[in-house]
Amino acid sequence: MRIGRRLSLLAGVLTLGLAAAGCGGAKVETGTSSAQPSAGDTGSPAAAAGGTVKIAINPWAGYEASAAVLSYLLEDKLGYKVEKKELAEQVSWEGFDSGDVDLIVENWGHDDLKKTYIEEKKVAVEAGSTGNKGVIGWYIPKWMADKYPDITDYKNLNKYAELFKTSESGGKGQLLFGDPSYVSNEDAIIKNLKLDYKVVVGGSEAALIESAVQAQQQQKPLLFYFWDPHWLFNRVELTRVNLPPHTDGCDADAKKVACDYAEMDLDKIASTKFADTGGRAYELVKNFSWTNDAQNAVANDITNNGLSAEDAAKKWVEANPSVWASWIPQ
């Protein structure tokens, strides 16, 4: 669920609809690839023996934070070279089939893709939990909940639809969405709960963030799709809208979903080939597990404090040896 991540690079990207058109239909081969500097460039024996790990980078800050720390440890501690490919979620899974992707660092659900690539094609395997707990939901700025106390109950959303109308929402209330590749039940929820709203695609995580910040600063109405963990909750006070609680099986049929999202234990997905031949690199990936707070700290350094992904990872690694030491295979 969640390319561009740094808000400073993408402020003002809220040109709704246009960004969405540029995100669909990509193939793995079209993803941007960038090999990060590695110990292998120095000619060290460990690096030379390490090989290359191809990591998909999905378009949200938390994912980048996890990938940055894993990449840093793979290169600095184990001597591997890391090749990063910026890809949408579903396109990343295609990379297991083609051999272009070794690892998806943070997977949000995707039971359908697990069935296809793990159970049927057998080109991928589950590589364990990231330790992060993921929750997707609908949010409004806190000032709206203070001003309209009953707005947090979905049953009252139609009463406030007028507040959320935009030029893109066709006379209905707007529910702002991010990257089209994100996990989404929004259209079905709106239809099945008979809500007078329309999903409008902002195109990126940055668009959602910019809109949330503006909504808070300028007291502008906003209803939008978002997720936790995310550093934005430390910057903007947000309130979640209460949809019908999630129950087992309530989202089994994508067309009939009328419930909120379930809390997810986020996991890592690796190619079968990498799992079989990745050696110490794969062991590190399996052992990697950290908290939402740790991820948010690294994501905040990348997004708001001007650090590169590598520098943010290095900062965290140097400050937390007791956390990652157990991840390094002996």
Domain annotation for the chain: domains and CATH numbers: 27-132+267-327 (3.40.190.10), 135-256 (3.40.190.100)
Among all chains, which residue has been given the structure tokens 């350094």? 301
Helices 309-319 & 61-76 angle (0-180, nearest 10): 70
What is the tens place of the pLDDT at every residue in 67-94? 999 999 999 999 999 999 999 999 999 9
Hey, how many other C-beta atoms are within 10 angstroms of the C-beta on 252?
9
CB 136 within 8 A of CB 184: no
pLDDT exceeds cutoff 60 at 38: no
Q: What is the percentage of the chain residues whose pLDDT exceeds 90? A: 78
Tell me the helix, strand and coil percentages in the chain, rounded to 5.
45, 20, 35
Amino acid at 319: A
Give 203's Cβ-side CA count (13 Å radius): 17
Average pLDDT for the chain: 87
What is the tens place of the pLDDT at every residue in 141-189? 999 999 999 999 999 999 999 999 999 999 999 999 998 888 799 999 9
Amino acid at 315: K
Q: Which two tokens stand for residue 243?
A: 């949809």
Which is nearest to 269 in space by CA: 141, 146, 90?
Answer: 90
Q: Quick check: helix, strand or coil at residue 319?
A: helix
Q: What is the percentage of the chain residues whose pLDDT exceeds 70? A: 85
Parallel/antiparallel/unpaired status of strands 197-201 and 103-107: unpaired
**Which has more confidence, 43 or 323?**
323
User: How confident is the model at residue 239, as a pLDDT?
Assistant: 97
Length, in residues, of the chain: 330
174-202 as b/e, with b when 16 or more CB fall inside 10 Å? bbbbbbbbbbbbbbbbbeebebbbbbbbb
Among all chains, which residue has been given the structure tokens 């709704």? 16
What is the tens place of the pLDDT at every residue in 281-326? 999 999 999 999 999 999 999 999 999 999 999 999 999 999 999 9
pLDDT exceeds cutoff 80 at 21: no
pTM above 0.85, yes or no: no
Assign 13 a pLDDT band (cuts: 50, 70, 90).
very low
